[in-house]
Structure 1
Amino acid sequence: MRNSVRLLSLAALLAGVSPVAAADQSFTIVAIPDTQNYIDYTHQTAEGFKFDANKMFLDQMRFIESNLVANGGDVAFVTALGDVWQHQTKMMDADHVARGFKRAANPIMDSHFAPTTKVTTVEIPTAREGYAMIAGKTPFSVVPGNHDYDAMWTDANHPPAAQIKSAADIGMLHAGGLDNFRSLFGADKPFFKGKDWYVDSHDGGADSAQIFTAGGYRFLHIGLQFDAPNASLEWAAGVIAKHPGLPTIISTHDYMDNEGRRIPNPIIDNAAVDPQDNSPQMVWDKLIAKHDQIFLVLCGHEHGQAMRVDDNAAGHKVWQVLADYQDRRQTAIDAGVKLQMGEGIGDGWLRTMTFDMAAATPTIRVRTYSTHYKKQSSDTADYAAWYKAAEKPKLTDEAFHRQDDFTIDLTGFKQRFRPVK
């Protein structure tokens, strides 16, 4: 991304424009998709795994840190899309116990979500080491994904079927409790406490808001917890009201599948279990569509990638972008590791979104980069061979590449929003 700044400056010189002025109108946001398989304590040599997968996560954070505006790069904001770590520490959190929720035995899922102390001794410390690299150097957000909750269990009202023939027969998981998440990413913790850009929070930091200035605009970012409950959506609406006129980005974990549909994963849908929570479509209807300041939504959770555009209630466009690479496993294949079905590593892939605000219609160049392979997806010859069959098997190789390297035209942006005076 430093190279992109240099190229922009060169292009500006050739056009007779001040390189400084041109660079000031361009910046990058990094979106970090689900990192759970890197941080997973079972994917480390200490547990007999063939390599330390956490190195890929730490390499991602070093790459981001080296490209921050504070270090001469163009990364102005970082958003992590949830599922930071893998495991849980409780069978069920106290709030759900008090509300009368019950567990159902699940022969398939119970072993995957058995509580372990290694969340607090291995996984969270790795996350702390990674985010410490950017803390104090840039505004950033982390939202909780379902794996970041204290407990994940099969709800007694949605038990597994006697014969499991599809994902719908596995039973419905439910996630609850955020003490683990707040222990690292709480509003009162060192990463965020006292930071002037961290402007609001709710539920102890499970929902949070940040403001950053880049490309001549002040942006509001709101991070929402998994299947955000009504109280979270009401809080978010209040934050928007406190900051009128700011172009607003929403990051949340569960929002869209890799076909671009606003539907939950059939195995874990908090809204189907708990009336306080909201499905992706409900989040759109109750919050996003109603607030014209929201122009961009970023999410993870569902394996693969997708992008959709919808008009909000005011008739303006909202761009919604999914990126989640957790099931990618070429690094494990190369190391001779036989992973279980559905188990991945991630292979170092993350999203960069470079905003160019100079034109009448600003653009976002969306690219996908692996800090392990040190290549863009578009420059990786085996990219489609490695990943297309599992993610988008119906696409041509060329079309699959375009899923991870494309440009968004922010039509109407400058009519909706005003630059910093």
Structure 2
Amino acid sequence: MAGNTRPTPFSVAVICDTQNYVDHNNQREAGFPLNAREMLWDMMSHIARNARSNGGDIAFVTGLGDNWQHPSVAGPDASHATIGAIANPVIERILPASPEALREVEMPAVRRAWEIVAQAMPFSVVPGNHDHDHLWTDPNHPPLISDAQGDVIDLIDQIGGLHVGELNNWTQVFGSDTPMFRDKPWYVSSFRDGANSAQLFEGGGYRFLHLGLEMCPDDAVIAWAQSVIDSHPGLPTILSIHEFINEAAERKSIAALDLTRMDPERNSPQDLWAKLIATNDQILITLNGHFHGVNQRIDNNDHGHKVYQFLVNYQSRKQALKVSAPEAKVLDGLGDGWIRLLTFDLAGATPRLRLRAYSAHYKAFASDLPFYTQWYGYEHPEMSPADFLALDEAEILLDDFRARFTPIADPAGHDAALLVAE
């Protein structure tokens, strides 16, 4: 490395499943006691203030999908018209098609959130199942109940088999030709109008590749991702996708939203591992939301090196609502402003990754809040308080990092082609 400047630590911020913040039902104009979307905007403002371009350490942000709540069409898209659809009382109650509210309330709130960070640093957003235009129930996998009474979480296994359709709404906000990404030098590739995308960023003396993939991608998406990796060989790579590991750290879909059952050409999380992640030694980390809570697993890839897989999803958290408006009813939760931070320190003898959770609402890290495990320990009732906290407050030794990756020539320099102007 040129010079004697020690590369400084840097962070990647992770934003997960924001649909409850922007749900049109969770705003004052709908009679809710607060504007939940403002909690999301505060999160993004915190990230922007702490961007590397503003003197902080955050070099990149990734959004893990389910950006908004409601579909715009309750029925099949054109490519699935022959499948048909059947009534589903659970979906009709909790996720009715809401085109006007979606386009006038939810999508603008999400767009404003990401515009806050758009000028501060490179970022990625992937689509989740809620972001698809269409939602309908497969006649071959009907719901198991005749009404929608009860808590939605308890009804998940009885919903039946769901289809999701096109991503026209999503590409209006996050498509590759939108102002957020068009002509950005760090946005280096996309597929299907940006539903799958690739970004470059720098940190700690290394150049990183980030891949964002749609949920349960088909082989054409995997081929595109492989082509991007082949065009950027040797770079430590982070892969974001809405669904990968679940609450039990298994690579397994929720039965109701197993998109491979509905569309066999898609790949399951385990298929994605076998076809893309395990075979490419430069994929270091996977990030996903979708399933409630947090968890992690580490597996060796086909080359004998470690892949760190993280579930990050705080959407069911609602302690803030319990205190400020205990009478308020929500479908699931809000999120309490939680952000996952992955802080890389790559300068020492053994590179390290620190996991932390920060709440922009509480303005505190998880380890700073004495009642953290009492508030949220329900996510993992089988764990001790210390083990539960360790999911959001831990240090991981990246002990094979040096064997896999080569630093850039001048870690103290700034590559104008990759970094936002500082």
- Pick aligned residue for 1:354 from 343, 353, 362: 343
Note if 1:43 corresponds to 2:26: yes
CA distance in 2, matches of 1:72, 1:382: 31
Note if 1:287 corresponds to 2:276: yes
Change (3 A) 1:348 1:317: same
**Deviation of the 1:93 alpha carbon:** 5.0
Note if 1:55 corresponds to 2:38: yes
CA distance in 1, matches of 2:90, 2:314: 23
CA distance in 2, matches of 1:103, 1:158: 10
Name the counterpart of 1:14.
Answer: none
Name the counterpart of 2:386.
Answer: 398
**Deviation of the 1:340 alpha carbon:** 5.6
CA distance in 1, matches of 2:289, 2:44: 18
**Deviation of the 1:135 alpha carbon:** 1.2
Q: Is the 8 A contact 2:89 2:146 kept in 1?
A: no
- 1:125-274 equivalences in 2 (<5 Å): 125-162=108-145, 167-274=156-263
TM-score, length-normalised on structure 1?
Answer: 0.91
Name the counterpart of 1:111.
Answer: 93
Instruction: Give identity over the alignment, percent.
Output: 43
Note if 1:88 corresponds to 2:76: no
CA deviations over 1:9-31 (Å, ceiling 9, x no partner): xxxxxxxxxxx966633111001
**Deviation of the 1:180 alpha carbon:** 0.6
RMSD: 1.7
Q: Is the 8 A contact 1:50 1:337 kept in 2?
A: no
CA distance in 2, matches of 1:23, 1:348: 33
Q: Which one-letter code corresponds to 2:94 in the other structure?
A: H
Q: Is the 8 A contact 1:328 1:346 kept in 2?
A: yes
CA distance in 2, matches of 1:93, 1:217: 45
1:267 counterpart SS class:
helix
CA distance in 2, matches of 1:181, 1:355: 31
TM-score, length-normalised on structure 2?
Answer: 0.91
Q: Is the 8 A contact 1:163 1:169 kept in 2?
A: no
**Deviation of the 1:166 alpha carbon:** 6.2
CA deviations over 1:73-99 (Å, ceiling 9, x no partner): 11100000111111111123534334x
1:368 counterpart SS class:
strand
Name the counterpart of 1:3.
Answer: none
- Pick aligned residue for 1:364 from 353, 364, 367: 353
Aligned residues: 400
Asked which structure has the greater RCO (Cα within 8 Å, sep 6+), the reply is 2
Change (3 A) 1:67 1:21: farther
Gapped regions of structure 2 (runs ≥ 5): 148-153, 410-422
Q: Which one-letter code corresponds to 2:245 in the other structure?
A: M
CA distance in 2, matches of 1:401, 1:40: 29
Change (3 A) 1:21 1:340: farther
Q: Which one-letter code corresponds to 1:255 in the other structure?
A: F
CA distance in 2, matches of 1:84, 1:342: 15
